[in-house]
Amino acid sequence: MQAAILIEPGKIEIQEAPTPSPRKGEVLVRILEAGICGTDYACYMGNLSTTYPIIPGHEAVGEIADLGEGVEGVRVGERVTIQPNFPCTTCPVCRGGRENVCPNKVRLGLDVDGVFAQYICVPRPYVWSLPDGLPVSEAALAEPLCVALHAFRKSPSAPNERVLVYGAGIIGLLLVRLAVLPKTRVAAVDIAEQRLAIAKELGADTIYPSFSKLEKDAGSFSILYDTSGVADAFSNILK
């Protein structure tokens, strides 16, 4: 198969690599489309702990190409998305129901080869069947959508409430889209005009091109989603 191999920070090449074959309990997925995440960029720049060479990427939609021994509940040809962190399932954190923050989790595209390849093997519990008719490019957004959805479920908004999305990257834009559903009044702040234009298209009623423009209104929001990763986001807004 062909794969994008990150040989060292700043050096990525398309190369031939052995096509993996599924072991017991694994599913072989033929990748149809993959998303490029900020994590992949950080990995490319050498700013994340990983070992080189590695095939990066963790956001993907694919089609099941083969099943390892003992796999049940999915069939060859079915379209799936991939849950990219594999928790250990046995540590106290996992046993407490918080597998998403398992300290021993295996991260796809960082600890093991990821989805920027034609094929990948994934343990059965981490492939999720997709509904028929969902376009491939939209299905490739399932993982970032889950991130946004998790935040939204933790702090759901009510009609007429004012919500601020701080950072209109992909997660922020997905949160704008989710937060407008209950007729919330959503505002977004970002320094990139293009992103703010999309936030508006998705239903944000107010956009702020910088924090200083937002400052006078900062007290009027009852929910803040920080999707910027900027260190001073919270101190800026919680004055």
Q: Which residues bind Zn ion (CB under 5 A)?
A: 37, 87-88, 91, 94, 102, 104
Region of residue 187 (left: phi > 0; alpha: psi -120 to 50; beta: else) = beta
On whether the CB atoms of residues 2 and 27 are closer than 8 A, the answer is no
- By beta-carbon proximity to Zn ion, the closer residue of 62 and 87 is 87
- By beta-carbon proximity to Zn ion, the closer residue of 83 and 236 is 83
Tokens representing 197 are 């234009």
- By beta-carbon proximity to Zn ion, the closer residue of 42 and 74 is 42
- By beta-carbon proximity to Zn ion, the closer residue of 22 and 56 is 56
The minimum distance between CB 192 and Zn ion, in angstroms, equals: 19
Question: Which residues lie below 8 Å from residue 144, measured CB to CB, with a gap of 6+?
Answer: 35, 37, 59, 170, 171, 174
The neighbouring-strand residues paired with 8 are 11
Q: What are the Cα distances from residue 29, in Å, to 6, 33, 142, 163?
A: 21, 11, 16, 39
The minimum distance between CB 37 and Zn ion, in angstroms, equals: 3
